[in-house]
Amino acid sequence: MDFFNLSLGEILQILQQGKSLEKKELEALANQELIEQKRADVFNITSTNVREVIMERSLLFQSVINDYDKFPLRDDQTLETLWKLWLPLGIKLANKRQNLGRSLVQGILGGQGTGKTTLAKILVLILEKLGYKTISISIDDIYKTYAERQLLQKQDSRLIWRGPPGTHDVSLGIEILDKLRQSENQISDNLIPIPRFNKSLFNGAGDRIEPEIVSKIDIVLFEGWFVGVLPVEERIFDFAPPPIITEADKKFARDMNKQLIEYLPLWENLDNLIVLYPTDYRFSKQWRKQAEQQMIASGKSGMSDDEIEKFVDYFWKALHPELFIKPLIKNPELVDLVIEINSDHSLGNIYYPNY
């Protein structure tokens, strides 16, 4: 067998079986790592250290794969994504935490269907294997209560869905992230209540549930569909892309843009920001339709294609990806890593902003 012609998947199957890699297999992996220059730069892989990197990652792979049944996603791309992204990213975050000297707060920004929740759950598992106590928090967890959002909707009838700027308890988020940033350095085991949100309550409107109690957290993963997003110039909305069409649409977009100002102190608690970036933002509709169709096929209730169109359009009217997320991937002062997502959910390029 020509080991240089082995695919990554075939080599990972060898590791999955608990076997050690032979020299030619290691060389094949080394070649694959160095070919993708952008990704190699992100994960500090050079011709000098590539063999050491592969050995470290191989051992971690075999440790993590023992908990494969805990993965929130298991498909034909999972092992390769684990090798090419999740493991090296976990190692990168662990190194950042070690150098920081206090708890690390890592932001993860991604629209619907980009896999931000899956990424966070996998990273928690990997970082635990590396010895770092990690917690994942969604921006959903700091929604205002059901009662508060009902009152908010009476004040602004345009807030028909939970999610847009203004529907979160920003002060609570700031308080929690501030406590978590300091938690690892506290001498005593100060208990920190982490808010949690159940989307199924009140017929899908959702509400807070009992908080999760934690202490001494090393790494916080804070994810959400507009985590880290900044306000843009007002004039941009004069020529906004669809579905921001009518004057009412533009007014809503401008108002949501102003609401983002309230979130800036929350973003200041982020040490870094990763952006999960679809190569075409319109994939979100495609992914949502696929997910809903799968739910319906399994006997569960789900939205029709028309309902999905209206649902996704609503959030694009609030914070359009082309206006709010696209500028971020070009700004190295705000974003430290961009991960492109292809239409089939496979990985695209992984790079630093302005690469």
Same domain, 70 and 195: no
Q: What's the rounded mean pLDDT across residues 21-45?
A: 93
Same domain, 167 and 231: yes
Q: How many CB atoms lie within 10 A of CB 44?
A: 12
Q: What's the rounded mean pLDDT across residues 312-334?
A: 95
Domain that holds residue 173: 102-351
What is the DSSP pairing of strand 337-341 with strand 347-351?
Answer: antiparallel
Does residue 4 register a pLDDT over 60? no
Same domain, 181 and 57: no
Record the pTM.
0.94
Does residue 341 register a pLDDT over 70? yes
State how far the alpha carbon of 136 is from the alpha carbons of 94, 180, 230, in Å: 15, 11, 22
Give the CATH number, domain containing residue 228.
Answer: 3.40.50.300
Residue 240 belongs to a domain: yes
Same domain, 67 and 109: no
Residue 89 belongs to a domain: no
Residue 82 belongs to a domain: no
Same domain, 308 and 222: yes
Same domain, 193 and 267: yes
Same domain, 62 and 192: no
Residue written as tokens 């297999």?
25
Residue 232 belongs to a domain: yes
Same domain, 117 and 218: yes
Question: Which of 76, 92, 126 marks a domain boundary?
Answer: 76
Per-residue pLDDT tens for 105-157?
999 999 989 999 999 999 999 999 999 999 999 999 999 999 999 999 999 99
Same domain, 63 and 140: no
Q: What's the rounded mean pLDDT across residues 254-259?
A: 98
**279: helix, coil or strand?**
coil
Does residue 187 register a pLDDT over 90? no
User: Which pLDDT score, from 0 to 100, does residue 204 have?
Assistant: 85
Question: Which of 41, 76, 111 marks a domain boundary?
Answer: 76
**235: helix, coil or strand?**
helix
Number of domains in the chain: 2
Does residue 1 register a pLDDT over 50? no
Per-residue pLDDT tens for 38-84?
999 999 999 999 999 999 999 999 999 999 999 998 888 899 999 99
User: Which pLDDT score, from 0 to 100, does residue 188 have?
Assistant: 58
User: Which pLDDT score, from 0 to 100, does residue 263 have?
Assistant: 98
Residue 90 belongs to a domain: no
Residue 282 belongs to a domain: yes
Cβ–Cβ under 8 Å, residues 287 and 118: no
Cβ–Cβ under 8 Å, residues 171 and 255: no
Residue 234 belongs to a domain: yes
Amino acid at 153: Q
Same domain, 122 and 56: no
Q: How many CB atoms lie within 10 A of CB 311?
A: 17
Residue 83 belongs to a domain: no
User: Which pLDDT score, from 0 to 100, does residue 193 have?
Assistant: 96
Same domain, 68 and 124: no
State how far the alpha carbon of 54 is from the alpha carbons of 12, 25, 77, in Å: 12, 11, 19
Same domain, 195 and 339: yes
Question: Which of 25, 42, 76 marks a domain boundary?
Answer: 76
User: Which pLDDT score, from 0 to 100, does residue 150 have?
Assistant: 96
